[in-house]
Amino acid sequence: MDENGQVDRSKIEFLEDFYELLSKEVIIAYRGTFEKGVLSILAKNIETSVESSSVLRRKFFKMFLEFAQNIAHYSAEQVNTSETEKSGSGLLILKHSG
């Protein structure tokens, strides 16, 4: 709600769109730290989730890798994953609309 007690329609519309997105064919949805071990597990999940051609599976994998690495390296939310390493934290959703 804003200062006048009115509901912010843009936030409601965002949430409606977000929940609609989740009801579609989601390949992967992850929110958390994008450290190496997590990326490896998520990559394996993509390989088993995409039941289409190997070309489509490769495209999803490349998109996932690019987005995940961007979050890991450039997210404003950086988390200490060890004494010497930090990883970005964020939300990644890949869906197939096909």
For the segment 17-26, the average pLDDT, to the nearest whole number, is 70
**Does the reported pTM lie above 0.85?**
no
**Please, which contacts does 39-44 make with residues 24 or more away whose CB atoms are closer than 8 Å?**
39/65, 39/68, 39/69, 39/72, 42/68
Q: What percent of the chain has pLDDT over 70?
A: 80
The model's confidence at residue 7, banded by pLDDT at 50, 70 and 90, is: low
**What's the rounded mean pLDDT across residues 12-29?**
73
